[in-house]
Chain A
Amino acid sequence: GAGVSQTPSNKVTEKGKYVELRCDPISGHTALYWYRQSLGQGPEFLIYFQGTGAADDSGLPNDRFFAVRPEGSVSTLKIQRTERGDSAVYLCASSELLAGGGTDTQYFGPGTRLTVL
């Protein structure tokens, strides 16, 4: 079946602008995750959805970042008043959930490369 897809693949914006990044998870996956990866580093967790609700948003760096998943499938990561430091690759992943806690394999999308000029 289809994997995780993300759009756009690249986004260039100016400092101060608003951007939206979209993620389409694997059909049927309850859990959806957003990560951010800076050059030369491993991905860092931003937010995790279980169904429609954000179960853990402890990785969001500040209140300029917000994410939604209104119907429990597609998710949008929204960044207000972008700063040059927001430039990174934003990765989305989805997975099934294991009973009793823990996560099964997370499948990643190709990412959106955000450049803030």
Chain B
Amino acid sequence: SQQGEEDPQALSIQEGENATMNCSYKTSINNLQWYRQNSGRGLVHLILIRSNEREKHSGRLRVTLDTSKKSSSLLITASRAADTASYFCATDTGRRALTFGSGTRLQVQP
């Protein structure tokens, strides 16, 4: 079963625009991680936010976490064609294995 659900399932934007992806989950967490995946292969870790954190930045990425709403968002600013990929949120509920959502497919048009 998948705890996280990303929204939207697919997103198409123009280069230079911002992209926002949302993730909702069901149970309490230790941390939430965002990953990127190109062409259905290896997952690249983007950012980890712990349950006692509300916002985190890394370069053009901004992640927020609202534990009261059990939701997180990933914002990619000034998107580039190279950002085209699938993005997944994954939750650590304390059992150490991550539970992934079904992902958002982002297409950035040049």
Instruction: List residues of chain A with CB within 8 A of the CB of B90.
Output: 42-43, 106
Contact B103 A42 (CB under 8 A): yes
In the complex, how many residues of chain A place their beta carbon closer than 8 angstroms to a beta carbon of chain B?
32
CA distance A101 to B41 in the complex (A): 29
The reply to whether the CB of A111 lies closer than 8 angstroms to some CB of chain B is yes
The reply to whether the CB of A12 lies closer than 8 angstroms to some CB of chain B is no
Contact B98 A45 (CB under 8 A): yes
Instruction: List residues of chain A with CB within 8 A of the CB of B30.
Output: 101-103
B21 to chain A, nearest CB (A): 13
Instruction: List residues of chain B with CB within 8 A of the CB of A103.
Output: 30-31, 92, 96, 98
Instruction: List residues of chain B with CB within 8 A of the CB of A45.
Output: 97-99
List 27 A-B pairs, Cβ < 8 Å: A33-B97, A37-B40, A41-B103, A42-B103, A43-B90, A44-B100, A45-B97, A48-B96, A55-B96, A56-B96, A89-B40, A89-B41, A93-B43, A97-B96, A101-B94, A101-B96, A102-B30, A102-B31, A103-B30, A103-B31, A103-B96, A104-B48, A108-B43, A109-B42, A111-B41, A111-B42, A113-B41
